[in-house]
Chains A and B, each alone.
Chain A
Amino acid sequence: MIIINSIGDAQKLNKGDQYIIGFDFQNPINMNIKKIEQIQSAIEKEFDSTKEKTKKV
C-alpha cells in the first residue's frame, strides 16, 4: 500500500493506484484534518476526470 505523507508524495501515484494518507494513528484526536484534506484535494486535482475527458488523444 502506498502511504502518502505530503503533497509531494502524490508524485508517486499513477491513475488507479490505491493509497492511504498517513497520520499518527495512535493519536487520532490530534490528526491534522486540514493537512489530509489538502493532500486529498491535490491528488484529486491531479487526476481530475474532467481534465481527462477534454484531453486530446
Chain B
Amino acid sequence: MSGTQSGSLGGGGTPTILTDQANGLLLVDNGSTPQEAQRPILEQPILANNLIDPSNDWFDMWDVSAARMVRVSAMRASQLTYKADGLNDTRAGDLGSINSGIYAVHDHIHPILAITAPPTPVITLVSGTMTITPILISTTITEEECVTFQFRVQCDIPIHTNVWQAFSIPSIAGFKAPIVTVNGTYRQSGSPTGYPVAPIMGCEAALWGGNTIYVGSFTENVATTRYVHFNVKYVIA
C-alpha cells in the first residue's frame, strides 16, 4: 500500500488537507489548528512485544468509563525466565509468546512481595472474669496474600462457677475470616479439681466458633495462671 495519501475537505472556505505521515499518523490541517491522528489504515510496521519501551511507548485504548480514547504505558514482554517464588522453590515461569498477546510482562516481579501487615489484632475478653495479657511472640510473618501473627496470651483466671472464660481474636475488614490455630497451653500455677498438678504443658484451651478461644472449664475451684499459644492467619479478602 502506498505510504502517502492526501486529500482535502472544504466547503468553499479554507480546505482541510489530510496528509499521511511517514510515521503512520495522519495530519489533519484545517489551516489554523493542524493535528495528527492515528491513521485507520493497517500499514504501520509491527513492533515485537519484547521491544516495547514501557517508558516511551504507549497503548491507545478506549476508556469506557470516561468514554474517550486514552493512552496507557505499554507493557513489554519479558525474555527472561523469571525467578522462582522463594528459597528452595525451583518452579520456573512460563514466558508465553512474545509474538502473541499472552506473555509474561517485563516487570513481573519475583520473588513475591509480601503484603504490609495490618496493625496487631486486639485480643478481647468476651466472657468470664479472667485477666488477659496478650503478647506477640514472633515477628509478624507476611506473605504475598496473607499475614500470620503468633500470640501467647497470659490468662489469670480466678475461681469461678458456671462461667466460661473466653477471648476472641478479631476479624479485620479487608481480610477473610481469620484462620486460628491453638497450639497448646502452659498452666503455670493452680490445680483445680480434676486437673493434673501444675505446672504442666498441655492443651486446656479450645477454639470455638471460628474466632473465640475458651480456656479451662465452666467451673474451677482454684485460681490459675495459664498461657495460651495460638496462631492467627489473615488472608486478603
Chain A residues close to B by CB (< 8 Å) = 1, 13-21, 23, 25-26, 28, 31, 33, 36, 40, 43-44, 46-49, 56
Enumerate B125-174 residues with CB–CB distance to A below 8 Å: 126-127, 163-164, 166, 168, 170-174
B173-A16 in contact (CB<8A):
yes
Interface residue B65 (Cβ < 8 Å from any Cβ of A) = yes
Q: Which of A20, A31, A46 contacts B208 (CB 8 A)?
A: A31
User: Which of A25, A44, A56 has the most chain B CB atoms closer than 10 A to its own CB?
Assistant: A25
Contact B209 A36 (CB under 8 A): yes
A47 close to B174 (CB less than 8 A): yes
- B173:A19 contact, CB within 8 angstroms: yes
Query: How many residues belonging to B are interface residues under a CB distance threshold of 8 Å?
Result: 28
Which A residues are CB-close (under 8 A) to B163? Answer: 26
A32 to B237, CA, bound (A): 23
Interface SS of chain B: helix, strand, loop or mixed? loop
B210 at the interface (CB under 8 A from A): yes
Known contacts: A28-B209, A40-B171, A43-B171. The answer to whether A1 contacts B124 by CB under 8 A is: yes
Which among B172, B174, B176 has the greatest number of chain A C-beta atoms within 10 A? B174
- The docked-state distance in angstroms from the alpha carbon of A54 to that of B118 is 22
Chain B residues packing against A (C-beta within 8 Å): 65, 118-119, 121-122, 124, 126-127, 163-164, 166, 168, 170-177, 208-212, 214, 236-237
Whole-angstrom CA separation of A33 from B171 in the bound complex: 15
Q: A25-B212, A40-B177, A49-B236 are in contact. Are A18 and B172 (CB under 8 A)?
A: yes
Instruction: Given A17-B173, A26-B164, decide whether A31 and B209 contact each other with a Cβ distance below 8 A.
Output: yes
CB-CB under 8 A for A20 and B209, given A25-B166, A26-B127, A49-B237: no
The verdict on A18 contacting B237 (CB below 8 Å), with A33-B209, A43-B171, A43-B173 known, is: no
